[in-house]
Chain A
Amino acid sequence: SAVISQKPSRDICQRGTSLTIQCQVDSQVTMMFWYRQQPGQSLTLIATANQGSEATYESGFVIDKFPISRPNLTFSTLTVSNMSPEDSSIYLCSVGTVTYNEQFFGPGTRLTVL
């Protein structure tokens, strides 16, 4: 299995500001994903973070709002830009390998926007 850390674990931010969330994995992984879990809801895929190229976004999510970087096979960042209270959620990083087709999840970043 992979050990995933996320920073920060939680934050309270003001409307209109941006927050960058970091995801670090203890081994090289093929796939990295970012999910959002709104209060009391299930997980929704935001995007697939591609190493060395632009992320692939799901319907309803755009790069200007959620820019993603993935400079190597063990690290990725998700930025939540120009935040509003509707962005208050848990943001989870997930990693997987094609070989084993298992996805492991980080502990999440709990974001509150005031």
Chain B
Amino acid sequence: AQSVTQPDIHITVSEGASLELRCNYSYGATPYLFWYVQSPGQGLQLLLKYFSGDTLVQGIKGFEAEFKRSQSSFNLRKPSVHWSDAAEYFCAVNQAGTALIFGKGTTLSVSS
């Protein structure tokens, strides 16, 4: 069955520290991979996506993610976290023309 696992339910990071959010997937073929962010009371915003090519992808707000086929992973990183990054982060996968399958999400808190 197709699934997305985000092992960390809640992460707290100090402002200015680096961040890595984990995402693993189970899929029949290499899927398309996405990271979305949802701030409190806000809609979903696409941070970045991977379709093919360079396995390190850059997104908005200083985020990047690396696709590792051997580990079925697509971890999200940011070198220096800002207080405004506190939000819910969702990893998602699909194939072309199909709906997204979401992980359960990771809540990021930023401490000062």
Contact = CB atoms under 8 A, between A and B. Distances in A.
Contacts of B49: 102
Contacts of A104: 46
Nearest to A48: B99
26 contacts: A30-B97, A31-B97, A31-B99, A33-B100, A41-B104, A42-B90, A42-B105, A43-B90, A43-B102, A44-B102, A45-B100, A45-B101, A48-B99, A94-B99, A94-B100, A98-B96, A98-B97, A101-B51, A101-B97, A103-B34, A103-B99, A103-B100, A104-B46, A105-B44, A106-B43, A108-B43
A101 B99 CA distance: 10
B43 A105 contact: yes
A33 B44 contact: no
Interface majority SS on A: helix, strand, loop or mixed?
Answer: strand
A83 interface: no
A48 B97 CA distance: 11
B44 A45 contact: no
A67 interface: no
Interface string B32-55: 101010000011101001010000
A92 B99 contact: no
Interface string A69-112: 00000000000000000000000101000100111111110000
A92 B44 contact: yes
Given A33-B99, A33-B100, A41-B104, 17 more contacts: A30-B97, A31-B97, A42-B103, A42-B104, A42-B105, A43-B100, A45-B99, A45-B100, A45-B101, A98-B97, A101-B51, A101-B94, A101-B96, A103-B34, A103-B94, A103-B99, A105-B44
A106 B101 CA distance: 17
B102 A42 contact: yes
A81 B101 CA distance: 25
A48 B99 CA distance: 8
A107 B43 contact: yes
B32 to A, nearest CB: 6
Interface string A15-47: 000000000000000110100000001111100
Contacts of B103: 42
